[in-house]
Structure 1
Amino acid sequence: MPVTVLQLCHCYTMPFVDISQQYAELMQRQGARVVTVFLTRPRDEALAQSHNSDKTVFLELRSQDVRGLKLGLLLRLRRLCREEGVSLVVAHRWKPIYLATLLQLTMPSLKVSGVAHALGQLQRHGRRLLFQLFGRRVHLLGVSDATRDDLRRCLPAAAHSRVQTLYNYVDFDTLRDRQLDRVAARKALGLPDDAWVFGNVGRLHPHKDQATLLRAFARISVELPSARLCVLGQGELETQLRRLAAELGVATRVDFLGVVHNAARYFRAFDCFVLSSRRESFGMVLLEAMAADVPVIASDAGGAREVVHSRVWRPQPGDAGSFAERMLALAELDDDARAALAAEQLAFASSHFSLGAIEQQLSQLELHQWLREAPQLADSQSQ
């Protein structure tokens, strides 16, 4: 009888809907049956039909419905676990991890694995206290070594075997097939055919630090008169960043395109992808850029340094001069050298962040054993 896993997700916004698909596939390949639950947002019939879980459940809660101690929600999840014969919960992000931790108190043989997708998830004293009091049987996964180490620093008494790394992964072949060619991608984004385009994708947020990227671009704009900077994403800093571009004299050469649905399809529009984050838990966009055969520059921060293996292309966070130096150096490479760099980065990514590589990593974790062992069903647990 296969293990039934309850995959608990806060919502199905990007990138978490893709991550839920990845985890469902990964766990099914270990022989598990997967029931995915989205706590918030209305039911999406297309997603219900297309999601690769064995069953998809939409609780359709409002954000305020999952704040604080929600006994009614816990009872609802407990009932679902019993009805589906769940023996393992895999919870993504803080609120689902919190709920799964409390759920385990009422179902003692339930196993719980929480996945931290961001740095600083346990920095709050209350969260650390919850784990110290109630989470001693919960295992945590960080999406990078940087995220794992951040968790371990917050839980110094926890055995290292309880806090491990499981990288995100990309189906590189499928992604490459979906990505538009350079001409089509530029046409879709409204970018000139003859421009040299630096691309950046992410929230316009202090952690992503597009301000440093703008300052770096301004420094090299005279030496690269055909260059443009294309920024995909929205956020609280948009007005401030537009103002900064104008102050730096590059406003007419910076394209703020807002949120672009399924942005990875258009990455071949870029000649170079630049990630300027000061804090980065992993950097899925880096893998998506590499899949598009686009060379990558990424700040030497957090999980990004684990994706971009060469220090040559990892400038210091917040250092516009360091970014400008590398952006100019990459732009001055000839076509063959640039293609060779992109191929080298893709080869590294494929060997470390493909499904096969992550299955190998999973095989070293206790989660792998949980997915394969004979389940103790929820309906056999104490009432």
Structure 2
Amino acid sequence: MEKKRVLFFIYQMGGGGAARTLLNILNNIDRSKFMPLLVTLDYDGSYEKYLDQDVKFIKLKTKRLRSAIFPLAKVIREEKADIVFSTIPNYNTIAILGNLLSFTGAKNIVREAAFLGGSPAADFKLRLYGLLYKFSSRVIALSNGVKENIVKRYKVKREKVNVIYNPVDIERIRTNVEEGILPQEHKTIFAGSEKVIITAGRLVQDKDQQTLIKAFADVSHRLDVRLVILGEGELEDELKHLAERMNVADKVFFLGFQQNPYVYFAHADVFVLASKREGFGHVLSEALATEIPVVSTKAYPGAGEVLNDGEYGLMCEVGNAEQLAEKIYETLTWTEDRREQVIQKGLERVNTFHAQTIVKQYEDVFMKTLNKTY
């Protein structure tokens, strides 16, 4: 069978969740059926070095997204792509326009990972995306909640949307845990008798580290604890000032973006996600893979789907610092037997998101789209 050429388009292979998802698909897609090609703008991304060597990688000679349409169209045409796959609305727009202007028979498949909209202006913008998505063959939603949002706010027909969860590269995570070494200056944070709470994510409003710091302050009155925050963002100074006001600044450690966050997870006692909303909550599944208990807010719609509404990790209401503190305290005071039981159950859950399993679902969508069996 002739291999189908799948062109993956993204702004850059940076440190975000979208790039990580593409990396997992690119590296795990069946090479006997598909020939993957990656196209980005002219940026260097931190995930590039993890790409398998056989993935053809083209950087367009532009750093402006709107200037990528015609160069992308040229690549689609020259590479004889069968499918053009993209993720995130702005990039999907460019991918669809580029494909239309390539004047080829390539099929567009777009992926939506976030639960967007809510305000009249935002909903109107999503309607415009939805009009453009009519030129795509399929829409991939990251979760059932994201699918419902696409149907409701983008006005995309329900039967055109497939739900595929994020792939988790369990083997790579385990290798990073086993071979990873904490920097010398960070080892002391985990070396004491204190319990360590850890979180990871951009320091932005949606991730709501403010509620986590307040909950941590509550827990610190009852247990000897430390809080490690991985990530960068515009709210770093504000969060540090909050920790000072809560009198826990000496127990909260802002360690920035880490290339290997998994070794940090494995050294901690509980992973906590305090987000207001999550399309999926990929970091929750990754934390489960590092064999650490997790606590999360009911960040709609994804967190509940990852943890099956609390079956695989304790959950609380969004923005409720008191509830979050109770769930963290409960987790940190489990017996060893209870803790191990929860960890094993979490490993069973994360196996359902195994990269190879999830990528096969993408392959199925690709083939059905090309064979027009939808």
| Cα RMSD, aligned residues only | 2.6
- List runs of 5+ in structure 1 lacking aligned partners: 375-383
Change (3 A) 1:137 1:291: closer
One-letter identity of the residue aligned with 1:201: A
State the distance in 2 between where 1:254 and 1:10 align.
34
- Structure 2 distance, partners of 1:134, 1:233, is 33
The C-alpha deviation readout for 1:325-375, integer Å capped at 9, x for no partner, is 10111111012211111111111111x201343246446x6434236x49x
Aligned partner of residue 240 in structure 1, secondary structure: helix
Distance 1:356 1:59 in 2: 29
Distance 1:187 1:195, change over 3 A: farther
Query: 1:187 Cα shift?
Result: 5.1
Tell me if structure 2 keeps the 8 A contact 1:48–1:56: no
Q: What's the offset of the Cα at 1:181?
A: 7.9
Q: What's the counterpart of residue 163 of structure 1?
A: 161
The equivalent residue for 1:327 is 328
**2:270, 2:295 within 8 Å by CA — same for their partners in 1?**
yes
User: Contact between 1:170 and 1:354, CA under 8 Å: does it hold in 2?
Assistant: yes
Distance 1:6 1:110, change over 3 A: same
Residue 206 of structure 1 aligns to which amino acid in structure 2?
A: Q
Deviation for aligned residue 1:269: 1.5
Please state how far the C-alpha of 1:117 moved relative to its aligned partner. 2.4
Task: Specify the code of the residue in structure 1 equivalent to 2:336.
Answer: D
Say which is worse superposed, 194-203 or 145-154, in terms of deviation: 145-154
Correspondence 1:345 to 2:342: no
Structure 2 matches for 1:301-320, cutoff 5 A? 301=299, 302-311=301-310, 313-320=314-321
Paired residue secondary structure (2:41): strand
CA distance in 1, matches of 2:342, 2:139: 35
Q: Distance in 1 between matches of 2:19 and 2:359?
A: 20
The normalised TM-score by structure 1 is 0.86
1:110 aligns with 2:111: no
Cα deviation, residue 210, structure 1: 0.5
In the TM superposition, what are the counterparts of 1:195-206 in structure 2 within 5 Å? 195-206=194-205
Amino acid at match of 2:59: F
Which amino acid in structure 1 is aligned with residue 43 of structure 2? R
In the superposition, the TM-score normalised over structure 2's length comes to 0.88
CA contact (8 A) 1:186 1:266 kept: no
Report the residue type matching 2:282 in the other structure.
M
User: Partner of 2:250: helix, strand, or coil?
Assistant: helix
Q: Which of 1 and 2 has higher RCO (CA within 8 Å, sep 6+)? A: 1
Q: How does 1:236-251 map to 2 (within 5 A)?
A: 236-251=234-249
Aligned length: 361
Counterparts of 1:176-191 in structure 2 under 5 Å?
176-180=174-178, 184-185=181-182, 189-190=186-187, 191=189
Native 8 Å contact 2:15 2:45 kept in 1: no
User: Does the C-alpha gap of structure 1 residues 228 and 127 become closer, same or farther in structure 2, counting only changes over 3 Å?
Assistant: same
Corresponding residue number in structure 2 for 1:83: 78
Residue number in structure 2 paired with 1:358? 358
| Correspondence list, 1:1-383, <5 A | 1-15=2-16, 16-28=18-30, 31-42=33-44, 47=48, 50-51=51-52, 54-62=55-63, 65-67=64-66, 70=67, 73-106=68-101, 107=103, 109-120=105-116, 123-132=122-131, 135-156=134-155, 158-180=156-178, 184-185=181-182, 189-190=186-187, 191-193=189-191, 194-224=193-223, 226-301=224-299, 302-311=301-310, 313-350=314-351, 352-359=352-359, 361-362=361-362, 366-370=365-369, 373=371
Percent identity over the alignment is 26
Query: What secondary structure sits across from 2:233 in the alignment?
Result: coil
Deviation sequence 1:285-318 (CA, Å, 0-9, x none): 2122111110011111121111112526111110
Whole-angstrom CA distance in 1 between matches of 2:132 and 2:21: 29
Checking the alignment, whether the CA contact within 8 Å between 1:297 and 1:314 is kept in structure 2 is yes
The amino acid across from 1:77 in the alignment is: L
